[in-house]
Amino acid sequence: MKKSYQSLEVNLTNNMIQVIYRKLTSNIFRFGFVILLTFTTTLSAQEGDSAKGKSLFNANCAACHTLDKKMTGPALRNVEQRLADDEGLDREWLYTWVKNSAGMIKSGDAYANKIYNEYGGAAMTAFPQLSNEDIDNILAYTAEEKKAPTPVPGSEITAQTTATTGGVSNEIILGALAILFILLAAGLFLVNKTLRRFASAQGIEVEEDSKSTPLWKAFIKNQFLMLVTAIFFLLASAYFAFGYFMQIGIDQGYQPIQEIHYSHKIHAGDNGIDCKYCHSSARTSKTSGIPSLNVCMNCHKSIYEVSPETATAEYSKEFYDGEIQKLYAAAGWSDEEQKYVNEGTPVKWTRIHNLPDFVYFNHSQHVTVAGVECQTCHGPVEEMEIMYQHAPLTMGWCIECHRTTNVNVKDNAYYTKIHEQLTKKYGVDKLTVAMQGGLECGKCHY
């Protein structure tokens, strides 16, 4: 009986191992197959880089074309395939067309004239500056499959956690302390119980007296315990009070809701728009400034909706399109009439970063002279769906960086002489901002 059970067990394990083995191998095969597939598809698609194509498309073509909707010009998804199938035109035709469509129309090319008339004689810009390779890249982008909306899991959460990591570690410490206390109490209770059991086993009478006095009375009677608890509470409250006072006026992580849901992730991240396109004064002046609605309308006269790929689980396409409508209302733009119809109402952006009035901070000094990246101070802006304050903006924060950052003296004639003098004075090769006077109160305080 016992034996048969054992053999059954052996059989079972054998079977299981076989099943697992088969699953594994078939999966490995599948995996290999997928790799092979992606390899071959990348090989066949090597004719163009669709990522580069996307930015070229956005920069040159998006004003008149979208992939899926007719605008000033035709929708361009799979345009190469379409022209090859319907009209028998090849890539050479497309090169010539994009570089100089007007020339083609004049030369009497049949299809060029057909599409030109179809679009009411609207002229497409000529792009002689684009190379064949550039156009390959654009065509690779237009040949991309239409993507289903991709949710970005946790994009919000990462923003939140990076903004609040300062508090988390403290909470963990407090939590660990609390658990330690509970364990200690439980331990004492158990020890007490076992001792009692031993005692009664040995036939020793344990005074039941302590049982009749309630625990809290015993506790109050014990002066040492009272002292320890009092000290503990005093220290804890001092700790919280100190923490509370220190964070007054520090708005790290501040993330207000704006009138228009404007996403840096979509603009600066996904579409790669340069920060300085909108915050143009960061290079040359003290402040960076917030762009006026004219700047937005440079693009949004033709971008009246977001593509379906832009929508996420959290924000739908309808939501984003509605936000663009808010922009139109604010700018006084009518999408139907394609012109400004009224004054609009300026958007009241809520200011996020704000130093006290007695501090002097200059953007161009940091961005242009020192060459500090925006992200060093403002964090991963290109990932922020909603803007928040990344740095604490305290005096300690400024000083810390001035102590540790070297001044960029290369190719800066202004610094050549002072660099020589100061390196002699300090006997070092590299100069930190602090050595140059970056810790002097007067530099930052009026």
Residues 204-223 that bind ligand HEC (CB under 6 A): none
Kindly state whether residue 246 participates in binding ligand HEC, applying the rule CB under 6 A: no
Which member of 356, 413, 417, 427 binds ligand HEC (CB under 6 A)? 356
Cβ(27)–Cβ(35) below 8 Å:
no
Cβ(330)–Cβ(344) below 8 Å:
yes
Place of tokens 């001092």: 238
Give the integer Cα–Cα distance in Å for 428 and 443: 23
With CB under 6 A, what is the number of residues at the site for ligand HEC?
105
Which member of 140, 141, 333, 363 binds ligand HEC (CB under 6 A)? 363
Kindly state whether residue 104 participates in binding ligand HEC, applying the rule CB under 6 A: no
Kindly state whether residue 306 participates in binding ligand HEC, applying the rule CB under 6 A: yes
Which member of 93, 127, 328, 333 binds ligand HEC (CB under 6 A)? 127
Cβ(364)–Cβ(279) below 8 Å:
no
What is the number of other CB atoms lying within 10 angstroms of the CB of residue 383? Answer: 16
Kindly state whether residue 433 participates in binding ligand HEC, applying the rule CB under 6 A: yes
* Per-residue b or e along 236-271, where b marks 16 or more CB atoms closer than 10 Å to that residue's CB: eeeeeeeeeeeeeeeebbbbeeeebbbbbbbbbbbb
Kindly state whether residue 77 participates in binding ligand HEC, applying the rule CB under 6 A: no
Kindly state whether residue 402 participates in binding ligand HEC, applying the rule CB under 6 A: yes
Write out the binding residues for ligand HEC, residues 20-59 only, by CB under 6 A.
none
Cβ(155)–Cβ(265) below 8 Å:
yes
* Least CB distance to ligand HEC at residue 113 (A): 9
Kindly state whether residue 323 participates in binding ligand HEC, applying the rule CB under 6 A: yes
23-31, 189-197, 261-269, 333-341 -> range binding ligand HEC (CB under 6 A): 261-269
Kindly state whether residue 310 participates in binding ligand HEC, applying the rule CB under 6 A: yes
Write out the binding residues for ligand HEC, residues 137-196 only, by CB under 6 A.
138
Place of tokens 């020793």: 204
Kindly state whether residue 381 participates in binding ligand HEC, applying the rule CB under 6 A: yes
Which member of 1, 204, 413, 441 binds ligand HEC (CB under 6 A)? 441
Give the integer Cα–Cα distance in Å for 47 and 42: 9
Sign of the torsion angle spanned by Cα atoms 282, 284, 290, 296: negative
Enumerate residues 6+ apart whose C-beta is below 8 A from 166: 252, 392
Kindly state whether residue 418 participates in binding ligand HEC, applying the rule CB under 6 A: no
21-29, 121-129, 177-185, 236-244 -> range binding ligand HEC (CB under 6 A): 121-129
46-54, 156-164, 390-398, 420-428 -> range binding ligand HEC (CB under 6 A): 390-398
Which member of 273, 312, 333, 431 binds ligand HEC (CB under 6 A)? 273
Which member of 103, 149, 291, 332 binds ligand HEC (CB under 6 A)? 291
Distances (CA, A) of 386 to 265, 297, 324, 367, 426: 8, 20, 16, 23, 45
